[in-house]
Amino acid sequence: MTTIEDVTLRVLDALNASGTPHMLVGSFSSNLYGIPRSTKDADFVLELQGDLGRTFFASLGAGFEIDPQLKFETNTGTFKQELRFQGTPFTVELFRLSDDSFDQERYRRRLPARLFGRQAWVPTAEDVIVMKVRWCRPKDREDVRNVLTVQRGKLDWAYIEQWCRQHGTLALLEEIRRTVPDI
């Protein structure tokens, strides 16, 4: 049985083999810093000037259905390409790094991490919080709570508050922060 971890690793291996600079975001990054939850997708931010190259697609291997059309993502204000793994509900979204100042900064601050025995790049815990507050879907609010709970005392609050203030989400951050249990 193919799992979302298997699918994510295949994409990660193909990105690494093709030399495509990337960052794993979304639920995988919030799971890294918080309380893990299940997911049916993997989200990557890619630093690309053109299209994904032949090496990426050759390294990806069989079983993927690739939507050739770039789509505009309203939550992030970026373009993305979707991959589906045949016979599963799993989706991989490949977001293009945008010119948005926060998108640029979180990408610049990304950190190396070991994920299922592979090298990956991930955002900082602070950047996960800022982005999830910015998206503000119900699952994002819960992810923020979980990261705040696990990372308590380790976060750069000045950095988080600066970006939330800039995005107009500081009140929402404080609302979520008040619901974090003391443990």
pLDDT recorded at residue 177: 95
pLDDT per residue over 57-109, tens digit each? 889 989 999 887 888 877 667 889 999 999 899 999 999 999 999 999 999 99
pLDDT (0 to 100) of residue 2: 85
Give the C-alpha separation, 95 to 163, whole Å.
21
Q: What is the pLDDT of residue 130?
A: 98
Q: Which structural domains are found in the chain, ordered by start? A: 4-177 (3.30.460.40)
Rounded Cα–Cα distance for residues 95 and 79 (Å): 6
* Average pLDDT of the segment spanning 37-47: 95
Rounded to whole angstroms, how far apart are CA atoms 148 and 111? Answer: 19
Per-residue pLDDT for 183 more than 70? Answer: no
Burial 114-148 (b: 16+ CB within 10 A, else e): ebeeeebbbbbbbbbbbbbbbeeeeebbbbbbbbb
Structure confidence at residue 76 (pLDDT): 67
Contact 44, 60 (CB under 8 A): no
Contact (Cβ atoms closer than 8 angstroms) between residue 144 and residue 129: yes
**Mean local confidence (pLDDT), 9-19:** 94
How much of the chain exceeds pLDDT 70, in percent?
98
